[in-house]
Amino acid sequence: MPDTASDKQAEGLTPYQHPFPQDAVPEIFVPRIEPEDDREWVPQAEGVWFRPLCLGVSQGYYVNLLRVRKAGVLSCHRHFGPVHAHVLKGKWHYLEHDWVAEAGAYIFEAPGETHTLVVPEGVAEMVTLFHVTGGYMYCTPDGAPTGCEDVFTKIELCRKHYESCGLGADYVERFIR
Ligand code: FE
């Protein structure tokens, strides 16, 4: 084991010796993306929750887990920015595509994607990590707008839920950058 500064240097174990840039924001460390405390899951609809990981207010994006514990449909919506997804558990598909996303899958969705997510019968739980930039608009299959969501509406949902479940409204602050 290296024990002097020069030994550490020889081993390449010397940490960076300077402060980070003055304007850099702190990292976020989440030890378990599926939390031990179930209250971290924010209810979104019947049988649907999300769990924030990074709420990027200065660049208009968020990273979260989506958990669905019912078979059925999540409303049709149109994305205004890119989406990256990684399926961790279960499976789902979109009415608009012919593929099925199962645990292990990665999906990129370009701005303009308009889709309706379906969790099929027989899937007890699906969990997917989504990185969503720029928000999205709920709409009818004909394209008529019915609502919208972005990092700010997500934060509001978190605040309300964390307040009411006892974690405290400012619990969400740790995920905001
Ligand atoms: Fe989507």
Q: Is residue 161 part of a domain?
A: yes
Q: How many domains does the chain have?
A: 1
Q: Is the pLDDT of residue 59 over 90?
A: yes
Q: Is residue 21 part of a domain?
A: no
Q: Is the pLDDT of residue 9 over 80?
A: no
pLDDT tens readout for residues 146-173: 999 999 999 999 999 999 999 999 999 9
Q: Is residue 30 part of a domain?
A: no
pLDDT averaged over the chain?
Answer: 95
Distance CA 150, CA 129 (A): 16
Q: Is residue 2 part of a domain?
A: no
DSSP code for 151: H
Token digits of residue 167? 């974690």
pLDDT tens readout for residues 27-43: 999 999 999 999 999 99
pLDDT tens readout for residues 116-154: 999 999 999 999 999 999 999 999 999 999 999 999 999
Distance CA 111, CA 16 (A): 38
Q: Are 56 and 175 in contact (CB under 8 A)?
A: no
Share of the chain above pLDDT 90, in %: 93
Give me ligand 1 centre to Cα 117, in Å: 7
Distance CA 76, CA 117 (A): 7
Q: Is the pLDDT of residue 6 over 90?
A: no
Give the per-residue pLDDT at 2: 56
Give me ligand 1 centre to Cα 135, in Å: 9
Give me ligand 1 centre to Cα 138, in Å: 10
Q: Is residue 22 part of a domain?
A: no
Give me ligand 1 centre to Cα 30, in Å: 24
Give per-residue burial for 117-155: e unless 16+ CB within 10 Å, then b. bbbeeebeebbbbbbbbebbbebeeeeeeeeebbbeebb
Q: Residue 139 is part of which domain span?
A: 37-175
Range 44-64 average pLDDT: 97
Give me ligand 1 centre to Cα 120, in Å: 17
Q: What is the CATH number of the domain that holds 47?
A: 2.60.120.10
Q: Is residue 110 part of a domain?
A: yes
Give the per-residue pLDDT at 3: 64
Q: Is the pLDDT of residue 5 over 90?
A: no
Identify the CA nearest to 66 among candidates 80, 86, 81, 82.
Answer: 86
Question: How many C-beta atoms surround the C-beta of residue 100 within 10 A?
Answer: 13
Q: Is residue 84 part of a domain?
A: yes
Q: For the sheet containing 100-102, what is the strand order?
A: 100-102, 91-94, 114-119, 72-79, 136-139, 145-149
Give me ligand 1 centre to Cα 26, in Å: 28
pLDDT tens readout for residues 69-102: 999 999 999 999 999 999 999 999 999 999 999 9
Tokens 């979260």, residue located: 64
Q: Is residue 41 part of a domain?
A: yes
Give me ligand 1 centre to Cα 123, in Å: 19
Cα separations in angstroms, 30 against 27, 35, 41, 46, 131? 10, 9, 14, 26, 16
Give the per-residue pLDDT at 176: 98
Give the per-residue pLDDT at 152: 98
Q: Is the pLDDT of residue 1 over 70?
A: no
Distance CA 137, CA 145 (A): 7
